[in-house]
Amino acid sequence: MVRRNRSIAVVSALLALILIAGCTRPKPSPTPVSVELEAMKETPTPTVEVSPTPSPTVEPSPTPTPTEVAKTPTPTPAEKAPPPPPPTETPTPTPAPSPTPTPVAGFTYTVRWGDTLFSIARRFGTTVEAIAELNKLPDPRKIRAGQQLIIPGGAPAGTIHIVQPGENLFRIALRYGTTVEAIARANGIVNPRLILVGQKLIIPGVTAPPGRIHIVQPGENLFRIALRYGTTPQAIALANNLPNINLIYVGQRLRIP
């Protein structure tokens, strides 16, 4: 840097001298001028070396060394306790199905006037006790006309009834312990009020009355005959189509139900 300043100062001084000389000196003759020019030519002009302006060196910023961050220790999960076993469902005991009562084989009989449990049992070949037990009768002696009774055993086959004068389906049904509807259905009767004398009717589920025949003796009446056979005067009257239970005659054949 000092060298450079000195070169600049020398050049500046020389230039100043030349200017001053040019202004004060008389016009020189050609020769002196050429001598001076020769002298000037011989005098070397100092070369000023201009040092190149140093370019500012940009120091590369240091690459930051990555600082290793201490890893936060991952907490080791504590051992989980094994989950409790799912609650075992206690099986609800299935109640044993109650035994289905076995239906008792039997058929229905409608009590008619004059019937007793004894006469009904004898008619269908069973016992008073069997009928009473099957129908839960508290007192076997108390039954009423129109009452439905289940008679144990198979239903008897149908029987044939020939319509007599003065009969209607209601009286016939009452006589055989069945219903008007059952007789009408078994015989295809459209109008139960219209039946003919001598018409043959199928009585469903009823056998013909037992073939006991009683011949009326002198001094007998229907009450004494019924008492003898364990039945009622009304039952005998119905079985024989008697319009008047007080009117019978000696030698008359009566069917005992």
| DSSP string across 134-182 | HTT-S-TT---TT-EEEEESPPPPPEEEEPPTT--HHHHHHHHT--HHH
Higher pLDDT, 191 or 78: 191
Query: Does residue 195 or residue 41 have the better pLDDT?
Result: 195
Which class is domain 156-206?
A: alpha beta
- d(CA 151, CA 128) in angstroms, rounded, equals 10
Helix (H, G, I), strand (E, B) or coil at 234: helix
Pair 245, 133: CB distance under 8 Å: no
Average pLDDT value for residue range 155-179: 81
Report, as an integer, the average pLDDT of 133-152: 88
Q: Residue ranges of the domains in the chain?
A: 106-152, 156-206, 208-256
Overall pTM > 0.75: no
The two domains 106-152 and 208-256 share their CATH topology (first three levels equal):
yes
pLDDT-based confidence at residue 135 (cuts at 50, 70, 90): very high
Q: Does residue 41 surpass a pLDDT of 70?
A: no
Burial 134-157 (b: 16+ CB within 10 A, else e): ebebeebeebeeeeebebbeebbe
What pLDDT score does 43 carry?
47
With beta carbons less than 8 A apart as the criterion, state whether 229 and 212 touch. Answer: yes
Lowest mean pLDDT among 9-23, 57-71, 76-90: 57-71
Cβ–Cβ under 8 Å, residues 250 and 232 = no
pLDDT value at residue 33: 44
User: For 200-256, how does the pLDDT look when each residue is reduced to its tens digit (9 = 90+)?
Assistant: 888 886 555 555 788 899 999 998 898 888 788 888 888 887 888 888 998 898 888
- pLDDT above 70 (res 198): yes
Quick one: pLDDT band at residue 35, thresholds 50, 70, 90? very low
Domain range 208-256, CATH architecture:
Roll (3.10)
pLDDT for 131 beyond 90? yes
pLDDT above 70 for 58: no
CA atoms within 13 A on the CB side of 43: 9
Evaluate whether the domain defined by 106-152 bears CATH number 3.10.350.10. yes
Model confidence at 86, pLDDT cuts 50, 70, 90, reads low
Q: How confident is the model at residue 14 (pLDDT cuts 50, 70, 90)?
A: confident
In this predicted structure, what is the pLDDT of residue 85? 64
* Whole-number pLDDT of residue 195: 92
Highest mean pLDDT among 12-26, 103-117, 147-161, 191-205: 191-205
Q: Is the pLDDT of residue 50 over 90?
A: no
